[in-house]
Amino acid sequence: MTHVVTRSCCGDASCVYACPVNCIHPTPDEPGFATAEMLYIDPASCVDCGACVSACPVGAIKHHTKLTDAELPFVAINEMFHAEPAPRPPQARTPVYERLRTGGATLRVAIVGAGPAGLYAADELLRHDDVQVTVVDRLPTPHGLVRSGVAPDHPDTKAVSALFAKIEELPGFAYSLGVDVGTDVSHEDLLRHVDAVIYATGASDDTRLGVPGEELPGSHPATSLVGWINGHPSHADASFDLSAERVVIIGNGNVALDIARILATDPERLTGTDISDQALRALRGSRVREIVIVARRGAAQAACTLPELTSLSRRDDLTVLVEGDLHLDEGTQRARRDGTIDPLLDHKISLLESLADRSAPDDDRPRIVFRFGLSPWEIEGARRVEGVRLGVNTLRVIDGRVTAEPTEEAITIDTSLVLRSVGYRGVPLRDLPFDPATGTVPHEDGRVRQSDPASPPVYVTGWIKRGPSGYIGTNKTDAQETIASLVADVNIGRVPLGSATREPLDSFLTRTLPGVVDLATWRAVERFERVRGAAARRSRRKVVDPELIAAVAERVSRPGGRPMRPQV
């Protein structure tokens, strides 16, 4: 055993291309890549060169001698993936791009959305000569879910910001932040200043449960709590009732685990992070002792990933338990009996079984309790949430999918706070087609399917293209596909180049709209946050208030302007 991929694997596959001996899988050209929970190093063929360590943008790869106790299970997890000798494709090569042919003209592109999807797309585009990119976002700060979605106690995952900072420095890159496309400017306005538009707007809405009581005070989408914890301006002033002992989370994906962990963690362990000031203050007054995570299907269908579950189960400051039946479906039971089950899924189920065997210790550590086979029927309460009524399910296979079927039986769990963690959802973009079933824009290889084939082509990447799945680095391979389509379209003349004779988009937006944040201002805001954070022994204290960002911007834009000094 030499190097090991650990929990924070972002899946961008940089390590795959850096590895000289083809020992990291699945590679982007293998079928399991799109659904893999992480990448895995084959201990038998790793030659210990460390090339993958340097390539990984989030520090997820470690030498086995440097693993912490909590990371030790990842030795077995890496090994397990490679246990079955599988035919491996030849060494994955960095994708070879079709060369962009602009005939000496400049291709100008607007990318709407400054999150990982938008920035990976900018990176892919700026590998070509004669390209200028303006990344526009409705928020005055960039980096999307890395800034406002990744849990503050996962600083390793947030380390991908350093990669984003490098992309921002590429020649031809510009930011116009604080501009809402659709409100402040239209798609047509953009097209007067650029040759092509790529939408990387993510999935900013939440999926609804559609049960009575969903709108009662005390019932919130998890996305709103995530935004509040991370100082997202739209959720900064939200408030959550943390006065009761028990919180119920519906859904057991990684977002559910993130919020359960944050609610259960002693706030003093979070003081060094970039958690929002408001959330830290509220958590210090929290009385929450138990977080129940409820899933409608069984342990084999748990949406959280093995790396996250493994890390959570190793926390010694929390009690993590499974209560009740694991609802193992027949197919899974059979596959376990005859040894055909995927070893990683088997490991995940065994881990949940071991949590079910744990008896609750007689101490006052906060508890995270998993429950399976329960669907929300009603969020109960007269004027605010008092409990949640859950129907007990059986599992049936319908059209090859294990599905929850209600029985007559139901239970009620008392609580005053219900967090609905049942997935993010894309919102329609003005003038673009939208599939309400998936919350995505229909496309072919990133080209938006348009009713009028004569319309100028439009592109999508990230969650608005593929739906809310995958990890930060998944957006890299996704962006590669979209940019390959755009380059091909330019080369065959489907994207006429002519915008370079007009005013650049970023200067047009700065000239016509108040408070547009450019790269220099973003850098000043970041510095301001880090200085303010250092004074409070925190990685950064985020600026949430747009007026404060405007004040920083004003200082930066003054001739000879010096960075603003924070009043801590």
Do 310 and 193 contact (CB within 8 A), yes or no?
no
Question: Which single residue is written with the structure tokens 């990344």?
Answer: 135
CB of 425 to ligand NAP, least distance (A): 10
Contact 326, 299 (CB under 8 A): yes
Q: Which residues pair with 250 in a beta bridge?
A: 294, 420
The binding track of 415-434 with respect to ligand NAP, each residue x by CB under 6 A or -, is ------xxxx----------
The greatest distance separating any two alpha carbons of the chain, rounded to the nearest whole angstrom, comes to: 74
Among 209, 275, 351, 497, binds ligand NAP (CB under 6 A): 209
DSSP single-letter state for residue 368 = E
The residues that bridge with 371 in the sheet, in sequence order, are: 294
Q: Which is nearer to ligand NAP, 151 or 194 (CB)?
A: 151
For residues 108 and 389, which CB has a smaller minimum distance to ligand NAP in the complex? 389
Q: Which helix (H) or strand (E) covers residue 371, if one does?
A: strand 367-371
The dihedrals phi and psi of 396, each to the nearest 5 degrees, come to: -135, 150
46 vs 279, which CB is nearer to ligand NAP?
A: 279
Q: Which is nearer to ligand NAP, 109 or 413 (CB)?
A: 413
Residue from 128, 138, 246, 297 in contact with ligand NAP (CB under 6 A): 297
Minimum separation from the CB atom of position 297 to ligand NAP (A):
4
- Does 13 participate in binding ligand NAP (rule CB under 6 A)? no
Angle (nearest 5°) at CA 371 between 368 and 373: 165
Distance CA 557, CA 568 (A): 23
CB of 252 to ligand NAP, least distance (A): 5
Confirm or reject binding of residue 329 to ligand NAP (CB under 6 A).
no
Identity of the residue, 421 or 477, whose beta carbon is nearer to ligand NAP in the bound complex: 421
Does 33 bind ligand NAP (CB under 6 A)? Our answer is no
Q: What span, in angstroms and rounded, lies between the C-alpha atoms of 46 and 44?
A: 6
CA–CA distance from 307 to each of 3, 269, 362, 552 (Å)?
A: 16, 21, 28, 39
Window 462-491: residues binding ligand NAP (CB under 6 A): 468-471
- 70 binds ligand NAP, rule: CB under 6 A: no
In whole angstroms, give the CA distance from residue 343 to residue 350: 10
For Cα atoms 435, 208, 254, give the angle at the middle one, nearest 5 degrees: 95
Strands 447-448 and 443-444, sheet pairing: antiparallel
Among 168, 308, 380, 506, the residue binding ligand NAP under the rule CB under 6 A is 308
Q: Which residue has the tokens 């694991």?
A: 326
Our finding on whether 306 is near ligand NAP (CB under 6 A) is no
Tokens of 520: 């220099």
Within its chain, how far is the Cα of 125 from the centroid? 22
Q: Which residue, 173 or 471, has its beta carbon nearer to ligand NAP?
A: 471
Residue number with CB closer to ligand NAP (313 or 421): 421
By beta carbon distance, the residue nearest ligand NAP is: 253
Note whether 371 binds ligand NAP by CB under 6 A: no
Distance between terminal CA atoms of the chain?
47
- Report whether 477 contacts 92 (CB < 8 A): no
> 122, 129, 117, 136: which is closest to 169 by C-alpha?
122
Residue of 303, 411, 513, 519 that binds ligand NAP (CB under 6 A): 303
With CB under 6 A as the contact rule, the residue among 296, 425, 541, 542 that binds ligand NAP is: 296
Interface with ligand NAP (CB under 6 A), residue total 26
Q: Is 34 in the site for ligand NAP (CB under 6 A)?
A: no
Q: Are 256 and 222 in contact (CB under 8 A)?
A: yes
Q: How far is the CB of 318 from ligand NAP (least distance, A)?
A: 17
Minimal distance, residue 383 CB to ligand NAP, in Å: 24
Q: How far is the CB of 5 from ligand NAP (least distance, A)?
A: 13
The alpha carbon of residue 178 and the mean position of all alpha carbons in its chain are separated, in whole angstroms, by 21
Nearest approach in angstroms of CB 397 to ligand NAP is 13
In the shown chain, the binding pattern of residues 232 to 271 toward ligand NAP, with x for contact by CB under 6 A and - for none, equals ------------------xxxxxxx-x-------------
Is the CB of residue 116 less than 8 Å from the CB of residue 124? no
Binding site for ligand NAP (CB under 6 A): 207, 209, 250-256, 258, 295-297, 301, 303, 305, 308, 375, 421-424, 468-471
